[in-house]
Amino acid sequence: MNESLKILSGSAHPLLAQSIAQNLNIALCAAELTTFPDGETFVQIHENIRGGDVFIVQPTCPPTNQNLMELLIMVDAVRRASAARITAVLPFFGYARQDRKDRPRVPITAKLVANLLVAAGVNRVLTVDLHAGQIQGFFDIPVDHLYAAPVLMKAIREREIKDLVVVSPDVGGIKMTHAFAKALGAPMAIVAKNRVSAEEVEAHSVIGDVAGKNVLLVDDLTETAGTLTAAADLLLKHGAKTIYAGVSHAVLGEKGRNRIIKSPIVELLATNSTPQATGEKVTALDIAPLLAQAIGRIHGNESVTSLFDTRG
């Protein structure tokens, strides 16, 4: 690998950054990240990166604001150290759900974050399964948008689940569900839901046949697990047998983990895009090889198109 390739890790997910570097057979770039008593972030790069191709690995997961600000400060430090190109590697892009004005006098924070990254000096973004694909258009720089589907589908196939039905826990996930169903050669169904609050969801009907079937619920993101567990409860009432769930990003807090434990879901498959993808019944799938392959191709100015393949 070219010596100009540098992988920097923020404090959001150092284990993932380390795994990416190992997959590329290089060491992480030495850097110091500390916090002053007043909460300010300090960054110093301890290697010469002048003219380097620098990739900063920092999912903007909880604490979201802290991790985002740290990323911006790291970008500024790298830019002032005369790096030739700066790529922000965001396995999980926080604020992605605030991508439109759906109520009066609200911000489009996903666009604001895009503007902040570009203003700080980012030349390129590498991310996985944006909550809304159109967020790529919020950037005036190249965005490489990878998909976790092949990683999730590989894990599902290894479990050799018979009589499988792929289910979307809400109507917004139909496109993703259809892709999984087609690739796995399974029928699909949909759960209709009503969101009561940011943490409470009511699932009220099932479109499709799940009686006597094993079910795979698929979604791009879960935090409090309200949507997944409400759907699982309803599917069980409709005669579903074993219920699995697969998500790209499990940004689970205590409430989400407890809900998964108490739910009929026997296993939640999720990538390790965030360090929060842990807990009883939760299986974290490694996306470091995928990200490392993308970084290697970007560094070598090669096509990354084949990595967008969602067929598994």
Report how far apart, in Å, the C-alpha atoms of 144 and of each of 92, 130, 151, 210, 293 are: 13, 11, 17, 36, 12
Specify whether the CB–CB gap between 170 and 192 falls below 8 A: yes
Q: Does 237 qualify as catalytic in the annotation?
A: no
Contact call for residues 245 and 268 (beta carbons, < 8 A): yes
Annotated catalytic residue, options 193, 255, 262, 281: 193
Tokens of 256: 């989400």
Q: Angle CA(269)–CA(272)–CA(275) in degrees, nearest 5?
A: 115
Which DSSP helix (H) or strand (E) runs through 305? none
Q: Which long-range contacts (CB under 8 A, 24 or more apart) does 22-31 make?
A: 22/288, 23/288, 23/289, 23/292, 23/293, 24/292, 24/295, 24/296, 25/1, 26/1, 29/54, 31/74
Chain mean position to CA 76: 24
Q: Give the whole-angstrom CA distance, residue 130 versus residue 111.
A: 13
Judge contact between 167 and 218, C-beta under 8 A: yes
Directed axis angle between helix 174-184 and helix 149-158, to 10°? 50
Q: Which residues are known to be catalytic?
A: 193
